[in-house]
Structure formats: structure tokens, C-alpha cells
Amino acid sequence: MKKKKKPRQRVRIYGFKFPQNLLEYLRNYQTEHNLQIPASAYAALLIMLKQIHREKSSQGKVQELSLPSNARECRLTYSTLHIGFKFLLKHGIIQEEVNIDGKDVYYLPHYEQSCSSEQPEDLNYFLIPHSLFETNILAELVRTSNSKSFELLFSLLTQFRHGVATIDHTNKIDELKQVRNMSTLKQQLGKRSKGVREALEMLEPLFYIEFVGLKYRGTQVWVHQVHFSLKPECVIENSDAFEVYPLVAEFSKETERILTDLNIRYKPRDLFDIMISFKQEVIEVLKYIAKNDGEHANYSARDSWIESYFYRCLGNFENKIRDQYEERPDFTFTKSIGAYFRTVFRNNLKAFVERVIPVEMIRTANMREFVEAGRVPVLHEVLTKY
């Protein structure tokens, strides 16, 4: 029996990856070494993970980490953040190496393996909302040395990633709830009821928090359970713009590998420029190509062609550079990487489309773009330019 295709997730947490096995490693490390990771170290780790996301580094390496600017962004003192970062280095959670330019590079061991997945439903990472960095949560948890509240935050976000996959619109996000007994929270946070409530107040910029099963005994209030739900600013609704997101992430990862193998010096900005060039020169041109299955537009054929074209361009680039190395062992690639790839993507697309994509699908795509966007179809302009 043919396996039913899993429907596309409609809503997701809008954030950056935190590998699940890294979280497990941290838990086990604390147990084995009988220590508590300080709040400043958790803050430094989140900053490192966000920087990996910013630099689009599939290998978990960062070249442009600036602790002073990150401290300002997160409302932390530089000395506090520096102490947290040194803790991560000392315990091998973050490691350091020198790149070919003699510059210090920091990386998370096994990050690439941790965030890759054979099956899209495998939850081998959870997502930290970008909106966390727009709040005072990091500053408050570090100021009050609330390292266990960081662990509660990670636990909640892990479970919410499962839940978000089940809803079909962002306005239903408040239907998702995580429940914790007060007795469990007291044990997890190592605090009395008042301390638990104070700790939870610090998480309110990300969560709606409701105390349930209240009992009053004189002037004391007893809380049985606490309900958590994500705030809307933590999630984003998927659209066709995100259909190709996994592809682009895969392209960036492979490009990074090729550039590294070829010993070509590049900066995170170069990878970003290549992906932007591909998006503008190829994805935006082909975005309206789809098969209509009677209910929804099917973009699988389009994405397959996009993938094929990208790897063809990347493969040709790799072969050309290797040929140059054979002819001139001292060869150095000196061109702007982003500009070079933009030219390659643009100049080869017409021949690829004419050879691979059926004429009828091209006509239908042009009509869709004209009706939906109210402009001369970009694909039509590309095919009739010369």
C-alpha cells in the first residue's frame, strides 16, 4: 500500500535550531560532573546558536561572533557574558580553531549531524523563537542566576514544537497548552512556590501563564497547576515562500562544503549573497510553475527542477575550479563569490528551462503570474530576452 504523503506543516515556531542531543548532552554532563551550568553560560550558548543561524553555517561554525555587541543586544554586561562563554570553552561545549586566514573560529562539535535528519518528522532539534532576543528574558535570568529556568524554557519549547505542527493557523496558537504541576515546578526549579511564581514572571514575554486549581488558606494561595501557551509572536504561518526553505538550507549547506573543500576563502556574507542571488535569479522566476492536483497547487516538480539547476551550476563551478588548480597550483579565486554565482545562475537559466520544463507548464505559470501579480511574467521576460 502506498504511503500517504505527509501534509505540509502550516504553522511553525519562528526561530533558530537548538539540537536535541546537545540538550541531552548538557543534562548528562551536569549529572556526571555534579555541577550546574550557570545562567550566563546558557545565555552565551543561545547567542552562539543564533549566530550560527545568522551565518547560515550548517557546520556549526561562526566567524563573526562579537561578544560586546551581543552583550548590548541582550542587555547583559560584557564581563558576565564573557564568563559564560569561557565556561563553555573550558568544558568543551564550544570549541575553538584557527581558519586558513589565521582567525579564531568557534564551533559546536557535531552540530551538523545533530541538525540533519533522514525523515522530516524526526524532531532532532527544537526551535528558539527569534522574539526571545527582543525581550529582557536573557538579562533577567542571568541577573537572578536562574539557570534552571533556562532548562524549563528549553523543555517547554521542545514540547511546543510538537504541538505547533498540529494546528493550521497562527490564530489557534493559544489552543496549545503545556501543563506543569506546581509540585513538579518547585522540584525542577529548586524553589518554593513564591520563587516559582517569580521565575515564571520572567518568562511571560514569550508565554501566557495561567495558574489553575487555586486554593486559599487564610492569606496563603495554593496553586495546583500552571498552564503555559505560546504567544503569537513566537510563530509564523507557512506559505509557498517557505515551501523552498528546506531546499535553500540544503543548498547553503552543500555550497559551504564545496567552498571549504576547494580551499576558497569565504565569509558568512558570501554564502548569504549566493543564496540571495539564487532566490532572485531562479526561485522568483520559477515560483509560479506548478501542477494543479484538483485541490492545491503541487510544487514538487518545480522544486525538483530548482534543485537540479542549483546542483548543476554548483557542480560546474567545482569542476572549473579544480581544472584551474590542475593548470595552476597557485591559483586563487579572487572574484566576488556572490556576483560570480549571480551571473552563472542568470546566464544559464534560459537554456535549462527550454530544455527541461514542458511548454504547457510554462504557459500556465505565465498566466498565473499575470493574474495573481498583475505584471508581465518574469519567466516570460527571461525566455524572450535574447
Domain boundary among 221, 237, 253: 237
Q: What is the pLDDT of residue 190?
A: 92
Angle between helices 193-202 and 147-164 (to 10 degrees): 60
Regarding whether 172 and 28 lie in a shared domain, the answer is yes
Residues of the chain with pLDDT under 70: 1-10, 116-123, 167-171, 237-246, 291-299, 386
Q: Report the domain count for the chain.
A: 2
User: Could you please report the per-residue DSSP string of 284-349?
Assistant: HHHTT--EE-SSSEE-HHHHHHHHHHHHHHHHHHHHHHHHHHHH-TT----S-HHHHHHHHHHHHH
Task: Please give the residue range of the domain that contains residue 24.
Answer: 11-237
Q: Does residue 87 form part of some domain? A: yes
Regarding whether 228 and 248 lie in a shared domain, the answer is no
Q: Which residue has the cell 504553522?
A: 11
Q: What is the pLDDT of residue 296?
A: 45
Of 329, 173, 304, 318, nearest in space to 247 by CA: 304
Regarding whether 273 and 166 lie in a shared domain, the answer is no
Regarding whether 63 and 205 lie in a shared domain, the answer is yes
Q: What is the pLDDT of residue 213?
A: 84
Regarding whether 44 and 131 lie in a shared domain, the answer is yes
Domain boundary among 185, 218, 237: 237
Q: Does residue 1 form part of some domain? A: no
Q: What is the pLDDT of residue 293?
A: 43
Q: Does residue 189 form part of some domain? A: yes
Q: Which residue has the cell 503570474?
A: 369
Grid cell for residue 317: 563551478
Q: Does residue 5 form part of some domain? A: no
Spacing of C-alpha 71 from chain mean position: 21
Of 125, 199, 111, 107, nearest in space to 162 by CA: 125
Q: What is the pLDDT of residue 170?
A: 63
Q: What is the pLDDT of residue 214?
A: 82
Regarding whether 249 and 141 lie in a shared domain, the answer is no
Regarding whether 268 and 211 lie in a shared domain, the answer is no
Which sign does the torsion angle of CA 251, 256, 258, 264 carry? positive
Q: Does residue 6 form part of some domain? A: no
Regarding whether 315 and 214 lie in a shared domain, the answer is no
